[in-house]
Amino acid sequence: MTTEKPTLTSIKKINDLDSIRNAMAHVFQDAQLSLSGHRKLVIVLKNIQQRAIMLGYEEGFILKFVKLLNKILSLKKGEQVADRVAKFCSIFVSALYKDEETLKEKKKNDKEGDRDMSSDNSDSDEEEEEETSAGRFVDYLLRHLLRGIQAKDKNVRYRVVQLLAYIVNYIGEIDEELFKALHWSLNRRLFDKEANVRIQAVVAISSFQYINLPEEGEYSVDNQVNKATQSLLIAIQNDDSAEVRRAALLNLAKNEVTIPFLLERARDVNSINRRLVYSRIIKELGDFRDIDFHLRENLLKWGLNDRDESVQKNAIKMFSSNWLDIVDNDLIELIENLKVVDSDIADTAMMTFYRERADKLASIEITENTWKELTTEKAFLIRTFYEHCNEHNLYDIIEKNFPESIELADLLYKYLNLRKQIIDSNNELIENYESYRSSLKETDSKLQQLQYEEHELFQDIDGIEDSNYKKKKVSQAKKLKKEFQTIANEKQQIMQRNKDMDEEYTSFHEQLKDLEFVIQQLLLISKQYDFSDEIGRRKMLQIIRSSLANDKLSDKLIESSLKVLRKISINERDFLAMCTEIVTDIRDSYMDENDEDTFHSAISGFRNSDSEDEEDEDNDKQEEIGEDANEDMGRNGSQSHKKRKKQPKQAPDDIIIQCLLITQHLLELTEESLENNYSLGSLIESLVRPAVLRNEQPVIRSLGLKCLGLFSLLEKQLAIENLYLFGMAATKADEELRIICVKIIVDILSTYGVSVLDIEGGVDSLSLARLFYKILRIYEMPNLQCVVAEGLCKLFLADILTDFGKGGKLNVNNDDDEEVVDEDEDEDDEGDDEDSEAKNERKARKIGAREKKKEEDQEKQLFETLILTYFHPLNIDNHALRQTLAFCIPVYAFSHPTHQDKVASISGDCFFRMFRDGGEFSKYENIASPTSIIQQLIHWCDPNNLVNLTQVEIKKSPAHFWQSMGFLQAVEQDTPKSIKKIIINNLNKLYITEELGSTILKGLLNAIEDTKSMIESNQHDPDFIFDALTEKNFDKFHQSIKDLIGKAEQMEAENSKNEQKNSFISEKSFQSNNSLVLNKDSLLELDESAGDKHEKSDLDENQAEESNNDAEKVEENLQEIDRMLDEEENIDYHLPMDTD
C-alpha cells in the first residue's frame, strides 16, 4: 500500500483493494481544493476504476466512492468544499457515459458490414449494454442517494438533491423502476419545507420534462404537458420562495403551454424574477411576433410601469432595441405589431422609445404623400412624434415635418368628410344590422323570461302534494320548455340568415374604426398645435363645430374634438356657450325634421315628457328609484296626456345619447360655476333629468347619471339635492350603474367634504355609512367592492371622514353584537362556580366596553369594515380589491400618528370578530392563518413605520399600547384557545417604551393583571388552559411592562429633580441685579425702603443716594421689560403641554 498521490503509472502497479481506496481518497482530497484540476482528476479516477475492475474490486471501488461522498452530505449550503466535490462527481459520471457512447459508436462501426445479425445476438448486445460498468456504478450511486432524500437533517436532503440535480443531466439508460422512484422522490422534494432543497429539486425535475413515463401515455405540446412540467408550473405559480420560482422560471421548457406562465412572472413580487423575464426569457423565446398579442400587451404594460428601475430599464431595452432589431429597424412594422387601435400601452411605449433612441429621431421624415395616405400606424407615429418634439421643444423638426394650421384643418376636414361618405354609403347595412341586433336582443329577452318562468314553476312543483295539480304544473313546464326550444331554434335561424350580413358589417366596422382612429390622432395633434394664425384657428373652429353638430361622432371623437374646441376658444365661457349651442342645434335638427318646431319646442320636447314626474320627485324626494318610480311616471304621464291635446315627441335614442356625450365631456373640461352660465344649467332639466329616469335604456340612464354627477361637482346645492338619488341608484341598479353612482358620491365628498351631509331634507351620514358598508359586503359584485374600497381609502387618507357621523351609530355587525351580549349573559348565568366579585367585575368591564363602542364614530367603524373586507375569505379571489387595500391600508397607517392610532384602536376588535367562536369567518376553510393576520395588524401599527418622525416621537407613540389593550380584551372574550395562544405569543412583538409614562403603563399593567386573574379563575375551562411556552411568554410580557414602569418612574423622578433644580437657579438669577425681571417681593422691599427713608432720622446722605440709585435701576429695568413686551406682543405664550 502506498500513500503517494496516484499517477497513471502508479495506478498500473496497484494490486490490492487498500491501495485503490487510498488512491481514491487522494483524488477526492485534491478535488475539493479547486475546480481547475477536475478534468485531470477525472482521468485519474477512471483509470483507478478500470484497474479495480481488472483486479475484481469493482464493488469495493463503488463502496469507497459513496463512502467518500457521504462526508460532504452533512455540510450546509455555501461550503465550497462540498460544492466542488459534488461537481466533481457529476463530471465523473458524465465522463463515464461519454466513454460508453464512444465505445458504442466504435462497435457500431465495426459491425456495420454485418447485415445478417440475428435477433438473438441483438438481445445479447442489449444485455451487454445494460451490464456496463458505468450503468452499474450509476445505478448503485442513485439508489444510495435516494436512501437519504428524506433524511431529517436538512443539510443531508439538500446535498442529496443537489447531487441528483447534477447527475440526472448526464445519466443514460437506467432501470425503469429506479427512474420512477427517482421521479417520485424528486417530486416530493418540490414541497420540502426548506427552500434550498426545493431549488435543487426544481433543477433536477426539469431534466424529466422531455421524458414521457409509460403511464402518462402520449402527449402533445398543443394541449398538455407531462407530469414533470406540470410540477414546475405549480412551483412557479405557488411557491412562496422567490429563488424557487426563479429556478423554475429558468428551467421550465418553453412551448405554447408554458409561455403564458413564464411571462406571468413579469408580475412576480420579486424584482429579480421580473427583470429576468425581460432580460433573458424573452430573448430565449425568439421572435416576439410569435407571442400572442394580449401577452405582448401585458408584457409591455407591466414592464414599462414597473416600480423597480432595473426592471423598467430592461423592458425599455427589450422594446426599443431587441424588438426593433427583429423587425430590421422598421418603425412602422414595429407599430403594426403593437396593434395601436386596441392597445393601452402603445403611447407609453413609443414615448419611451423616442427618449431612449434619440438617434432615430433624425431618420423620421413625414412627407406630403404620407399626410394624404394615413394609416392607423402612420397616424399614430406622426401623433406621438409630434407630442415628443413639442414636449422637448424640438421646433426645427416640427417645422420640417408638420404643415401650417390651416393645412392641418383642411386635412382633418377631408378625413371627416371621408368618414361621412363611408357611413352614408353603408346606411342600409347599418340599419339592417341594427334591426338584426334588435331582434336578437328581443329573442334573448324572451328566452331569459321563459327560463325564469320555468325555474319558478319547478320550485312550485317541488312543494305541491296534490298529484293532479302537480301533473298540470308539469304539463305547463313541458310547454314552456317546448316554447323555449322553439324560440332558441328561431334565434339560430335568424343568425344563420344574417350570417353574410354580419360578416359584411364586421368588415365595415373595422374599416370605420381604423378611419376614426386616424381622425382621433389628427385631433390629438390639433389639441397641442400652434393656432397663432387666426385664419387657421377660425377654420379649425368651424370644422370642429360642424362635425360635432352634424356628423354623429363616436365617444372618443367627441372627447378629442371638445378638447380642441376648448383650446381654440377665446375663454371658458365662450367654450361653454358654443357647446350648449351645439347640443341645442342637434336637438333642433330632429325637431325641424319631424315637428317643424322652433328651438323652444325642442327644449319642451325634452322637458314636458317627464315634467309631471319631476314635480313628483321634487315633492317626494324619499321615493325609491326603480320600477315603482316608472309606474308612477306612467300614471302621471297618462293624466297629463288627458290634460294636453298633443304630446310632444321625444327625440330618438341616438340623438339623446349624442347630446349626453357632448354634455358629459364638456362638463369634464370646465370648472365654471352654474351661477355664471344659465344656458349650461338649463340642460339639467331639459336633457339630464329625463335621461336619469329612462330605466328602460341603461345606456341613456348611465350617461344621465354621469352628467348629473358632473353638474353636482359644479354647484354644492345641486350635490345636496341629488345625493339621495345617487344613493338609491347605488343600491338597486346593476353593477355598472352602481359603480358610476359610487364614484359620483366619492367625488362629491372629495369636493365638498361632509358638509353636504346631515342637512335638513338631505342625506344623513348614517345612511351613507350604511350604504358603503352594504356595498362592501356584496361579494357577487367584486368590481363594485373594489371601487368603494378605493374611494373610502382616498377619503380616509385625506381626512375627509374625520368625525364622520358622530351623531349616529352604525351597527356594522348587526346580529353579531347582540349575540355577544346574549352569550356573555349566558356565560354569567352558567358560571355559578366563579367568584361573584370577579364575575361582576368581568361583566362591568364588558358593559363598559360596549358603551365605549357605542360612542365610536362611523369613521372607525367603516375602517374596521375595510380591514375585515381585506381578510374576508370570500374576497380571496378578488385580486383588484386585495391589491388596493394591501396598498392603501399601510399607506394610511404610516402617514400620520393619528391614523395609526385609529388603526390600533380597532385592530383588536377586528381580530376578535374574525376568529371568535361561531363568527362569520369560522364558516370558511380558505381563511388566512391567524398568525399571519395578527402579524400584519402589528406591522400596520408599528410606530417605527411612521414617516417624518424623530426617534423620540416614535418612542412616545401609543399605537401598540392601544393595540395591546384590544388584544387583551380578545383573550378574555369567547375566542378559541388557539387564538388566545396566538395573541399571547405575539404580545412581546409590540413596540412599547418607557417614554409613554408611568401612568399609561400602569393602566396596561392593570389590564394584564386583570387578564391573568381571569385566566386563573377559569382554569376549569379548557380554552383558558395554556401550555408552558404560552404562559412563559405572557409572564415575559408582564415583567417587561413592570420594568418599563420602573424606568418611566425613574425618568420622571430625574425630570422632576431637574425641573426643581432649574427652578431654584431661575429664582437665584431672578433676584440678581443684572436680571431684567424682578419679583414682586423685591419691588415691595424697594418701595418700603424708599418710604422709610423719611422716617429714619439716622439715615446718612450716602445711604439715601444709594437708595435713589437702586430706584433708578429698577425703573430702567421696568422700562426695558415694557419695551421688549411691545416688540413681542404677537408671540403666542400658550405653549402646548406634552400630555405623555
pLDDT value of position 609:
40
pLDDT value of position 1108:
52
User: What mean pLDDT comes out for the span 442-448?
Assistant: 88
Mean pLDDT of the chain: 82
Instruction: Return the closest-CA partner of residue 523 out of 492, 554, 494.
Output: 554
The identity of residue 157, as a single letter, is: R
**Stronger pLDDT, 756 or 646, i.e. the higher one:** 756
pLDDT value of position 448:
85
Cα separation of 266 and 99, whole Å? Answer: 43
Q: Which residues contact 858 (CB under 8 A, 6 or more apart)?
A: 765, 766, 769, 801, 804, 805, 806, 808, 809, 810
CB 763 within 8 A of CB 748: no
User: What mean pLDDT comes out for the span 415-425?
Assistant: 95
Written as one string, the DSSP assignment of 32-51 is TT-STTHHHHHHHHHHHHHH
Cα separation of 588 and 596, whole Å? Answer: 9
Judged against a pLDDT cut of 80, whether residue 854 lies above it is answered with: no
Q: What is the pLDDT of residues 1029-1048, one digit of tens each?
A: 999 999 999 999 999 999 99
Q: What is the pLDDT of residues 270-307, one digit of tens each?
A: 999 999 999 999 999 999 999 999 999 999 999 999 98
**C-alpha grid cell, residue 692:** 336619469
Q: Using pLDDT thresholds of 50, 70 and 90, give the confidence band for residue 644.
A: very low
Instruction: Return the closest-CA partner of residue 65 out of 139, 168, 155.
Output: 139
Judged against a pLDDT cut of 80, whether residue 856 lies above it is answered with: no
Name the pTM for this structure. Answer: 0.76
Q: What is the pLDDT of residues 494-516, one digit of tens each?
A: 999 999 999 999 999 999 999 99
User: What mean pLDDT comes out for the span 841-862?
Assistant: 57
User: What mean pLDDT comes out for the span 766-790?
Assistant: 93
User: What mean pLDDT comes out for the span 628-634?
Assistant: 39
* Cβ atoms within 10 Å of 370's Cβ, excluding its own: 15
pLDDT value of position 1067:
58
Q: Using pLDDT thresholds of 50, 70 and 90, give the confidence band for residue 156.
A: very high
Q: How far is CA 433 from the centre of its chain?
A: 41
Burial of 669 (0-12, 13-18, 19+ CB in 10 A): middle
Cα separation of 1063 and 368, whole Å? Answer: 89
Least confident stretch, 49-63, 356-370, 1102-1116 = 1102-1116
User: What mean pLDDT comes out for the span 596-605?
Assistant: 41
Least confident stretch, 708-712, 811-815, 838-842, 1004-1008 = 811-815
Q: What is the pLDDT of residues 943-962, one digit of tens each?
A: 999 999 999 999 999 999 99
pLDDT value of position 592:
55
Judged against a pLDDT cut of 60, whether residue 629 lies above it is answered with: no
User: What mean pLDDT comes out for the span 191-200?
Assistant: 94
Between helix 227-238 and helix 176-189 the angle, nearest 10°, is 10
Least confident stretch, 603-607, 785-789, 831-835, 960-964 = 603-607
**Stronger pLDDT, 2 or 728, i.e. the higher one:** 728
**C-alpha grid cell, residue 482:** 317546448
Q: Which residues contact 1079 (CB under 8 A, 6 or more apart)?
A: 1070, 1071
Q: With pLDDT > 70 as the criterion, what percentage of the chain qualifies?
A: 79
Judged against a pLDDT cut of 70, whether residue 927 lies above it is answered with: yes
Between helix 17-31 and helix 38-55 the angle, nearest 10°, is 170
Instruction: Return the closest-CA partner of residue 544 out of 531, 555, 560.
Output: 560
Burial of 659 (0-12, 13-18, 19+ CB in 10 A): buried
pLDDT value of position 428:
92
The dihedral built from the CA positions of residue 412, 416, 419 and 421, taken in this order, carries a sign that is negative
**C-alpha grid cell, residue 317:** 431595452
Q: Using pLDDT thresholds of 50, 70 and 90, give the confidence band for residue 591.
A: low
Cα separation of 616 and 632, whole Å? Answer: 9
Number of H helices, E strands in the chain: 54, 0
pLDDT value of position 1113:
55
User: What mean pLDDT comes out for the span 307-325?
Assistant: 94
Judged against a pLDDT cut of 70, whether residue 19 lies above it is answered with: yes
Burial of 880 (0-12, 13-18, 19+ CB in 10 A): middle
* Cβ atoms within 10 Å of 810's Cβ, excluding its own: 24
Least confident stretch, 110-114, 193-197, 684-688, 700-704 = 110-114
Q: What is the pLDDT of residues 330-344, one digit of tens each?
A: 999 999 999 999 999
Judged against a pLDDT cut of 70, whether residue 6 lies above it is answered with: yes
Ranked by mean pLDDT, the top range of 225-234, 455-464, 1081-1090 is 225-234
End-to-end CA distance of the chain: 83
The alpha carbons of the chain give a radius of gyration, in whole angstroms, of 42
CB 79 within 8 A of CB 113: no
Written as one string, the DSSP assignment of 260-284 is HHHHHGGG-SSHHHHHHIIIIIHHH
Determine the 3-state secondary structure of 56 from DSSP.
Answer: coil
Cα separation of 1118 and 423, whole Å? Answer: 94
Cα separation of 604 and 586, whole Å? Answer: 14
Judged against a pLDDT cut of 80, whether residue 611 lies above it is answered with: no
Burial of 521 (0-12, 13-18, 19+ CB in 10 A): buried
**Stronger pLDDT, 111 or 975, i.e. the higher one:** 975
Judged against a pLDDT cut of 70, whether residue 790 lies above it is answered with: yes
Q: Which residues contact 1045 (CB under 8 A, 6 or more apart)?
A: 994, 998, 1001, 1002, 1005
pLDDT value of position 668:
94
Domain boundaries, the chain: 1-105+132-174, 569-628+649-714, 896-1055, 1082-1126
Q: Using pLDDT thresholds of 50, 70 and 90, give the confidence band for residue 941.
A: very high
